[in-house]
Structure 1
Amino acid sequence: MFDDDTRLGLGTYSLKGDEGADTIEAAIDAGYRHLDTARLYENEETVGEAIAASDVDREDLFVATKVAHFEEPEKTEEYVRTAVEESFERLRLDRIDLLYHHWPKGQDDIETVLPVLEEFVASGDVSNLGVSNYTIDDVSLARDLVDVPIEANQVEMHPLLPQEEMRQYLYGSDTDLVAYSPLAQGEVFEEDAIVEIAEKHDASPPAVSLAWALSKGVTAIPRTSSVDHLRDNLTARDLELDDEDVKRIDAITRRHRCEDPSWMSW
């Protein structure tokens, strides 16, 4: 599903209004082709505005959004269906490339939400179905529940939370792992290994962290509001870490999770 142009995307959380639209448009101009948003972010209109203002053809962009986060009101089939329809309106698109179930609070949510999302894939309005913050058991249930492939599971992943078990489970399947918070909201910059590898390659710690994720076959969607950081993050696509670099990052023992609801059983 993802290619060289979309393997490194842009997370748009907190990018809102005119300033947010300018940042997203700058990202598209810099070379980003994968844009990730969500109903919960309350910025789908901003993303749609940036897409409309960009000189890049819609067909060259990969647009993903997410619905039915656990913080949203109680999910019903009607709620989910309306939420997706509203996402189309806010994004000003007639097709969404990847539609995720954002974050279930239990398998009852999954059983309600996913069949509704599958309807939009069956109709052709959505190209791919994804899930987010699903455990291995959740992904297994999802695969049994719907007849279309689960193309992606978007989870927090970075050198301090490498997701080995999930990556091993998904390896060789139709489901890609998409990494949100791939820089651990800046925590990775304090790791000596990453700083020293960055110095070795005359690169930045963010670029090293993202290159490490890409080396694992993962799609990463870092978020930044800085145009300079947008451009720097893109350098990860051309940064080739050697085996020693990757092994050194793999050997980091510190663990840190940015998003960790108390009720979630990882």
Structure 2
Amino acid sequence: MKMPNLGMGTFRLEGDEGYHSVKMALEEGFRHIDTAQMYGNEAEVGRAIADSGIPRDELFVTTKVHMKNFAQQDFLPSVKESLDKLQLEYVDMLLIHWPSPANGDNMDVYLGELMKAQEHGLTKSIGVSNFTIELLEKAQALLPNVILANNQVEIHPYLQNNKLRSYCNQMGIHVTAYMPFAVGKVLKDETLQAIADKHNASVAQVTIAWALQQGITVIPSSTKRKNLQDNLAGPLLALDTEDIAKIATLDCDDRQVDPDFAPQWDE
């Protein structure tokens, strides 16, 4: 199944909140769900998927392998545990969540295990998350006959990541944007609000439409049905060249996710 360009992110959605949020998203029409071992919610996501009754071949599910499971003896067992929690026989996309260590040492081990996961039918496609250009180059050198399907990174109007996106486009690596609303910051932006008013739309819809028109998959999250419905209308909005130009001026390298184990980001 081709990955839908609008998905439901589940970062920070745990327990009953996670379950109900994913269940609502599926009820409203989302068919792309993104989770991770690190989020601690795979079981709730799996329960919501099972309870939805939606046929498996209509869903696109992504999960990511935690750094603590990168050792050869831990990697595949952790993926199988994720599948048990998700109540799935396979995921559509399996990602390396963070490069570890940050400079990419031992990458040959966990990328080799990632490839095995695909060979064993545990995932349909493989990719990475939070990889810089330098780390992508290392990864591609280690896997010369394998195309990484995806690089999931933080992208929003305040952090547009143009250099990395350009490189990924050249290499045929699709980009997925997490944290597309910058933890709500961009939803209060006056420039984006003016564009939204112009189109009789919401700022969330403008932000989603902008990402999609850049050729980026976007995975916003929400715990409210109204917001989920609002997000689903984003792909229906067409921004013009003036809108895109104004949004380009908002890029200010305002990164929201930068843990101490993060790599040296591209400038």
* Partner AA of 1:110 in structure 2: M
Structure 2 counterparts to residues 174-253 of structure 1, below 5 A: 174-253=172-251
Most deviating of 220-229 and 140-149: 140-149
Measure how far apart 1:2 and its partner are.
4.2
Partner of 2:116: 119
Partner of 1:99: 94
Counterpart check, 1:265 vs 2:246: no
> Against the structure 1 CA distance between its residues 262 and 17, is the aligned structure 2 distance closer, same or farther, given a 3 Å change threshold?
closer
Contact 1:130 1:151 in 2 (8 A): yes
Measure how far apart 1:230 and its partner are.
0.8
Structure 2 counterparts to residues 1-266 of structure 1, below 5 A: 2=2, 6-69=4-67, 72=68, 75-104=70-99, 105=101, 106-146=103-143, 147-262=145-260, 264-266=263-265
Q: Identity of aligned pairs, percent?
A: 38
SS in 2 for 1:259: coil
Q: Tell me, in whole angstroms, the C-alpha distance in 2 between the residues paired with 1:156 and 1:16.
A: 21
Q: Tell me, in whole angstroms, the C-alpha distance in 2 between the residues paired with 1:164 and 1:154.
A: 14
Q: Tell me, in whole angstroms, the C-alpha distance in 1 between the residues paired with 2:188 and 2:217.
A: 23
Q: TM-score, normalising length from structure 2? A: 0.93
Contact 2:79 2:122 in 1 (8 A): no
Measure how far apart 1:22 and its partner are.
1.9
Q: What whole-Å deviation, never above 9, does each CA across 1:208-235 have from its counterpart, x for those lacking one?
A: 1111111100000011111111111111
Q: Tell me, in whole angstroms, the C-alpha distance in 1 between the residues paired with 2:66 and 2:187.
A: 32
Where structure 2 has 5 or more consecutive residues not aligned to the other structure, the ranges are none
Contact 2:153 2:177 in 1 (8 A): yes
* Partner AA of 2:181 in structure 1: L
Q: Tell me, in whole angstroms, the C-alpha distance in 1 between the residues paired with 2:177 and 2:194.
A: 23
How many residue pairs match? The answer is: 261
Contact 1:10 1:35 in 2 (8 A): yes
Where structure 1 has 5 or more consecutive residues not aligned to the other structure, the ranges are none
Moved over 3 A (4+): none
Measure how far apart 1:149 and its partner are.
1.6
Q: Tell me, in whole angstroms, the C-alpha distance in 2 between the residues paired with 1:198 and 1:177.
A: 25
Contact 1:129 1:148 in 2 (8 A): no
Q: TM-score, normalising length from structure 1? A: 0.93
* Partner AA of 1:140 in structure 2: E
SS in 1 for 2:184: helix
Q: Tell me, in whole angstroms, the C-alpha distance in 2 between the residues paired with 1:164 and 1:254.
A: 12
The CA RMSD over aligned residues, in Å, is 1.5
